[in-house]
Amino acid sequence: MSKEPLILDGKLVSDDIKAKLAVKVQELKEKGVTPCLATILVGEDPASATYVRMKGNACERLGIISKKVVLDESTTTEELMAAIQELNEDPNVHGILLQHPVPHHIDERAAFDTIRIEKDVDGVTTLGFSQNAFGFAEYPSCTPAAILAIMDYYNLPIEGKHAVIVGRSPILGKPVSMMLLNRNATVTICHSRTKDLANIVSQADIVVAAVGKPNFIQGNWIKPGAVVLDAGYNKGNIGDCDYEACAEAASAITPVPAGVGPVTIATLLKHTVESAERTVQV
């Protein structure tokens, strides 16, 4: 396609979400409630530490309290679950984010599922995932919700479209597939054992890249006019799509950085504020 694609600007979408949130945070403060997101970092993975710091900074810029819990690499599953339980019971904490991945010796699923559903603002619990699959989650997983928020901001149609999702992780590929299915897309989910991936991707009206491999999705896989959403975030600020080549065929595409990433963080803040609002309503 010779026409320039529409660049789906994640900064624009996240600024729009955050401007609306700033008003809500102020209203909550006037009612004596300051939204608070607790983040838990276990171990010393530098990328995880950066993500947690970015989320904390984003909270603080918006007047949301960022409560940081940092646990040693040697923390056991039981100790992590006890730390989460304490945050569950703290009425001043409205959202809990356990940074993935945790060290290998920890049962991550058990830890995630310790988070009380009312505080599962990152949509990581089994219950939150199921509610999302049914289409009524309060807090769907943040990156999938961000992908949908970008599509809605730019009025990109979903119903009846063929969406091909590359990746099936519980925090990204699977929940975004469910959300697109719930919006009446026809969904194909691909993974590492998928055969003839290029041919399947080339049939998509909507491509979601959630692989974790830099420049993995090739430009000549993209059907002319398709919408490309790149959730990938690899070392060196590189997405999962070969951006320049995919942009030649796509009608709309998210860049990396400044695509899905900032909207994911804005979505996390949005869920935290909504959780705080619910405590005022009851």
Q: Is the dihedral of CA 139, 141, 144, 147 positive or negative?
A: positive
Residue 197 touching ligand NAP (CB under 6 A): yes
Which pair of structure tokens corresponds to residue 212?
A: 């974790």
Between the alpha carbon of residue 223 and those of residues 52, 201, 205, 230, 250, the distances in Å are 36, 8, 7, 15, 7
Is residue 122 among the annotated active site residues?
yes
169 is in an annotated binding site: yes
Is residue 99 among the annotated active site residues?
yes
219 is in an annotated binding site: no
In 3D space, the residue among 8, 3, 4, 2 whose CA is nearest the CA of residue 207 turns out to be: 8
> Which range touches ligand NAP (CB under 6 A), out of 71-79, 130-138, 190-198, 246-254?
190-198
Between the alpha carbon of residue 154 and those of residues 90, 157, 277, the distances in Å are 38, 9, 27
Catalytic residue among 9, 119, 120, 122: 122
Tell me the closest approach of the beta carbon of residue 163 to ligand NAP, in angstroms: 15
In 3D space, the residue among 130, 126, 184, 134 whose CA is nearest the CA of residue 157 turns out to be: 184
> Which range touches ligand NAP (CB under 6 A), out of 22-30, 38-46, 102-110, 225-233?
225-233
Q: Is the dihedral of CA 278, 36, 260, 16 positive or negative?
A: positive
Nearest residue relative to ligand NAP (C-beta): 169
CB closer to ligand NAP out of 95 and 167:
167
The correct pick among 96, 147, 231, 247 for binding ligand NAP (CB under 6 A) is: 231
- Nearest-angstrom CA–CA distance, 70 and 83: 10
Contact set for ligand NAP, span 96-155 (CB under 6 A): 143
Binding site for ligand NAP (CB under 6 A): 143, 166-169, 171-173, 190-194, 197, 210-213, 231-234, 240, 260-261, 264
Active site residues: 55, 99, 122
